[in-house]
Amino acid sequence: MFITRLMSFFTACCFSLGVLALENKDILPVDEAFKFSAAAEAADRVGLSWKIAPGYHLYRDKVKAQSQTEGLELGALDLPEGLTEQDAVFGETKVFRGDVAAVLHLASPAGGRQIQVLIKYQGCADVGVCYPPQKKLVELSLPAGGASGEPAGAAASPLQVLKSLSPGGADDLLPPELAFKFQAEVKDAQHILATWTPAPGYFLYKHKLALVADETQSEARLAPFSLPNGEPHDDPEFGLVEIYRSPVTVEVAVSGPASAVTLVAKYQGCAERGVCYPPMQARVVLMRSNGEESQAVNEQEQIVRDLRRQGFGLTLLSFFGFGLLLAFTPCVFPMIPILSGIIVGQGEGLTTRKAFLLSLSYVLASALMYTGFGVLAALFGSNLQAAFQQPWVIGVFSAIFVALSLSMFGFYELELPQSLQNRVLQTSDRHRDGSYFGAAIMGAFSSLIVGPCVAAPLAAALVYIGQTGDVLLGGAALFTMAVGMGAPLLALGASAGKWLPKSGAWLNNTKSVFGVIMLGVAVWMLSRVVPAGVTLLLLSMLLVFPAVYLGALEPLPAAASGLLKLRKGLGVFLLALGLLELIGVAAGGRNPLLPLQGLAGSGGAAAKAEGLRFEKVKNLVELGEALQKAAAEGKPAMLDFYADWCVSCKEMEEFTFSDPEVRRRLADFRLLQADVTANSEQDQALLRQFNLIGPPGIIFFDARGQELAAKRVVGFQDAGNFLKTLQGVGG
């Protein structure tokens, strides 16, 4: 009781000081300390703003609005989060400083009408003088317009309004179409699947989610459906409600003779930081057929559907086939010299059985690592392969390959300490030793470091695990695919014992060749994290030094054999290539396949190799802005996910985007690129927004900024297939 009276007395004193302070030249008048203005932004909302002088603050919980017009009902008052401060009068509270913008929504839109709204607020000077509560009667003429909130004339866009709510600016708040996504698909002739997806840091109100069929467009009908339980949330506007922070999917029965159904989805949500969005709608037209859906889907989505429908055995067989196909892509090629070097490094004691077991250890360890971290990525949204592309990780692993190559050249022998070898021999049969464990370790790390590529089957399996939580089927599919990718390596191991020499000078020469190949793998890995000029210089050294060892600079004896002449010719060839790469370094070249590109003119091959010019987007907000600009220009858009460590991304640049016909077809597109090399939080948010585990991935948008999901590309596509994908895009 005493504390209550003391607070009341203290508050009264503050108000009195506030009135007296108007005569004090050191204290600003209230209208100068808090410059208030209001503007009609649309038929259903009013913008409010304060310019707060330095040394003054406004209390967030004292800002109120009250209708003074008969029949006008006010909706939510969206205010910024504010700063948490310890106040002498109110204790810990939220305050505003600087420029503040808010939006007052009208529950009953009054477009074209004159309205009156009473705005209340209160603030203080930091020196301890508080002003009495202020009341401002605002009279406004609302522009004509619908309840959608679309302004007439030069009113602010929804994105601009949402940005004004954020004291941190555009980087802190997403446009509505990226903050909340709605998607629907046909499951079968009688059912559809609808999914609402809030972006990380955002949530949807359960009681605001609704889905109906537009009966004016078709005779299709939707049966009643129930939403899953949400998370309890004490909301300042709606009280105790349920919300969704993760995607929510419902299956809805559809009836009626119509082959097409127009869905109208309604929803509303907020950002975790306290900013709420107005109610939103999305319309989707789906095609139904007799038994199976005729809706076009991309390859990834089709594989996800097959995972849901196919039996366990058929699914594993399919993914083994996918793995066999992926085994012949550049993402897997570097594993061949790694495994070959391990096998050759065994020396004279190599047998067919041992070579095969080494390969099996390598492949199984690679598959287990691939599967384990794939499942974790699907469940928790973190791509460990991308995380392992940090420069220091690449540098350490490259150094390992250099060390392995030097052992191939005979500088030293890499083997377990003798004491550890004895223990291993005591617990194993005579054919097993630490080399199997070493092969397994190399296989495990190779799966993370060497080939972090994403293809449609891999992406589909990860999406399936993330959506259903079915780790058993999804993980088994990933493991089977990884084994399929390693099948050619097993064949290599089974044959190595027969093809490779057992002893003599041939063995030493073979080990030297694989030593050079190991160095090549190290250079290839370093190319992801070092400048292109450094890569060309290392490649030049890699070609010139072996050429010298092959006798490129030594004269042939008069009675040279054919084999010696072949060796000399190979040395001269490598020397010439190395010198071309070295000239390319001096000329500013960047492409090892076109080292003299820097010497070329502006036309011909140089123009072709230039590829596409992309507009970079660093986060979801910049993407939203770019899509809005494209929509304003009436242009479709293409978003390319790229990373320096992505082999397939480099393939797309070199062989697809440089194609003249592809460049011509994309001339009218707004070309956007998200460089996710750093794998930062913003990069991960971009990938999660489109359910991508990593690059490469290409997303197409129509001229309204809506994604064309059926045209999505995951993994590498050559120019011919990419042109087929472009058919119907942007028309």
> How far apart, in Å, are the Cα atoms of 402 and each of 163, 338, 343?
52, 12, 17
pLDDT 10s digits, 560-615: 787 778 888 888 888 888 888 888 888 777 777 777 766 654 444 444 445 688 99
| Range among 211-225, 282-296, 373-387, 461-475 rated most confident | 211-225
> How far apart, in Å, are the Cα atoms of 544 and each of 409, 547, 553?
16, 5, 11
Q: Where is pLDDT greater, at 333 or 485?
A: 485
pTM above 0.75, yes or no: no
CA distance 519 to 525: 10
> How far apart, in Å, are the Cα atoms of 436 and each of 419, 431, 441, 511?
17, 10, 9, 19
CA-based angle 397:399:401, to the nearest 5? 75
* pLDDT beyond 50 at 424: no
In this structure, which amino acid lies at residue 237? E
Enumerate residues 6+ apart whose C-beta is below 8 A from 525: 394, 397, 398, 401, 449, 450
Give the DSSP H/E element, type plus range, for residue 566.
helix 562-586
Enumerate residues 6+ apart whose C-beta is below 8 A from 271: 173, 174, 179, 201, 202, 277
Q: Which pLDDT score, from 0 to 100, does residue 92 have?
A: 85
Share of the chain above pLDDT 70, in %: 71
CA–chain centroid gap for 638, Å, is 15
pLDDT 10s digits, 521-530: 778 777 777 7
The answer to whether the beta carbons of residues 310 and 317 sit under 8 Å apart is no
pLDDT 10s digits, 102-151: 999 888 776 667 888 899 999 888 877 788 888 888 888 777 654 444 43
For 391, the token pair is 């420069």
Q: How many CA atoms lie within 13 Å of 231's alpha carbon, on the beta-carbon side?
A: 10
The answer to whether the beta carbons of residues 96 and 83 sit under 8 Å apart is yes
| DSSP category for residue 519 | H
Strand order in the sheet with 114-121: 64-67, 114-121, 134-141
pLDDT 10s digits, 200-240: 888 999 999 999 887 776 677 888 888 989 999 887 777 88
What does the pLDDT average to over 694-721? Answer: 84
Residue 177: Cβ-neighbour burial (10 angstroms; 0-12, 13-18, 19+): buried
pLDDT 10s digits, 640-690: 999 887 777 888 888 899 889 999 999 889 999 999 888 788 888 888 788
DSSP characters over 622-649: HHHHHHHHHHHHT--EEEEEE-TT-HHH
